[in-house]
Amino acid sequence: MEYFTQLFLGGLTRGSIYALIALGYTMVYGIIELINFTHGEIYMIGAFTALITASVLTLYGFNELSILVMASLVAVIYSSAYGYTIEKIAYKPLRHAPRLSPLISAIGMSIFLQNYVLLAQTSDFVPFPALVPEFAFMKAYEHIFSSAELMILLTTTVVMIILSCVIKFTKTGMAMRATAQDRKMAMLVGVDVNRIISVTFIIGSALAAVGGVLIASHIGQINFYIGFIAGIKAFTAAVLGGIGSIPGAVLGGFVLGWTESFATGYVSSDYEDVFAFALLVLILIFRPAGILGKSKSEKV
């Protein structure tokens, strides 16, 4: 039973990170129907920004927790700026182009950013400091659930609650939902759709940056390629839950996290990705719109 609990909690932690990144995919897709392939790179850039910030702050002798908070903040600001700029450069000029064009542009941007970080940093894995301290009250549970995992779970939960409040209760959140449901009508009531798209990219990027910092600190090393794997996994989570659906992205993240965790624990860790993507294939065959997605007819 203890082993099961451990796997369950491990899956929950992992899933919450997938959910956090998947939200960015699903929100962007909901508004402009684009799979934003640079999203994983935003996550990677967030991790690197946090690493640089943390290294500097360590020199000044700050404690771990304050470094974590400040590094996350810098990463969030930096990644959001990247997300905003990428949309303006790579997607906005293609707003009225055929759907394939922005997709290719996204893949190109993703390759560009990976190689930019490769050149600016290094191709090797670089160590990332463990920024989450060992909490004393977690000592008794350490063998099944670490302090770092607790921190991940708490942070992602808080961030997701804030996000849903923004989307539910603020005027901008309402405009985001309206734009996702009927873009032309949103324009007809006076929504500046370009602004809403920018806001969506900024929010999605901020979430990815938080995910990047948390995971980097938990795993302890990063390189230019981590965004690709994380991006593919989170994209899988978004599709599992039903792309375009915000609760779907969260659910998809957890389902994927548990699948991987239990598959690793009960079968073999070599098969982690096999199970993740087998699940994706099965969902696509039997429920193409995803768990919470609605199959809709093409709008005319």
Which residue from 60, 143, 171, 269 is in contact with another protein, where contact means CB under 8 A? 171
Q: What is the four-CA torsion angle of 138, 55, 124, 44, rounded to 10 degrees?
A: 70
From 175, 210, 222, 230, residue interacting with another protein (rule: CB under 8 A): 175
CB of 173 to another protein, least distance (A): 10
How many Å apart are CA 43 and CA 174, to the nearest integer? 26
Tokens of 1: 């039973």
Site membership for another protein, residue 190 (CB under 8 A): yes
* Interior/surface letters 103-133, b for 16+ CB within 10 angstroms, e for the rest: bebbeebbeebbeebeeeeeeeeeebbbbbe
Distance of CA 219 to the CA centre of its chain: 16
Stretch that binds another protein, among 84-92, 130-138, 171-179, 211-219 (CB under 8 A): 171-179
Element holding 143 (H helix, E strand): none
Helix, strand, coil in percent for the chain, rounding step 5: 75, 0, 20
Q: Which is nearer to another protein, 118 or 174 (CB)?
A: 174
Q: CA 83, CA 15: separation in Å to the nearest integer?
A: 23
Instruction: Candidates 33, 134, 142, 192: give the one binding another protein (CB under 8 A).
Output: 192
209 contributes a contact to another protein by CB under 8 A: no
Using an 8 Å Cβ cutoff, are 84 and 202 in contact? yes
188 binds another protein (CB under 8 A): yes
Residue 142 engages another protein in binding (rule: CB under 8 A): no
Chosen residue from 56, 77, 138, 177 binding another protein by CB under 8 A: 177
| Contact call for residue 165 and another protein (CB under 8 A) | no
Q: Which region, judged by CB under 8 A, interacts with another protein, from 38-46, 54-62, 190-198, 271-279?
A: 190-198
Q: Are 253 and 234 in contact (CB under 8 A)?
A: yes
Could you say which of 165, 182, 220, 221 contacts another protein (CB under 8 A)? 182
Q: Are 17 and 233 in contact (CB under 8 A)?
A: no
User: Which listed residue (60, 137, 184, 286) binds another protein by CB under 8 A?
Assistant: 184
Question: Can you name the residues that pair with 221 across neighbouring β-strands?
Answer: 127
Told to check if 174 binds another protein by CB under 8 A, we report yes
- Report in angstroms how near the CB of residue 58 gets to another protein at its nearest: 46
By CB under 8 A, name the one of 104, 187, 274, 282 that touches another protein.
187
Taking the complex as a whole, how short is the minimal distance between the CB of residue 109 and another protein, in angstroms? 26
* DSSP code at position 243: T
Quick one: which segment of 64-72, 159-167, 172-180, 231-239 binds another protein (CB under 8 A)? 172-180
Q: Which residues contact 58 (CB under 8 A, 6 or more apart)?
A: 67, 129
7 near another protein (CB under 8 A): no
Q: According to the binding rule CB under 8 A, does residue 299 interact with another protein?
A: no
Angle of helix 171-181 relative to helix 2-32, nearest 10 degrees, comes to 70
Check binding of 140 to another protein (CB under 8 A): no
- Nearer to another protein by Cβ, of 134 and 182: the residue is 182
Instruction: Give the contacts of 241 (CB within 8 A, at least 6 positions apart).
Output: 22, 26, 247, 248, 249, 250, 251, 252, 253, 255, 290, 291, 292, 293
Q: Which residues sit at the interface with another protein, rule CB under 8 A?
A: 171, 174-175, 177-178, 181-182, 184-192
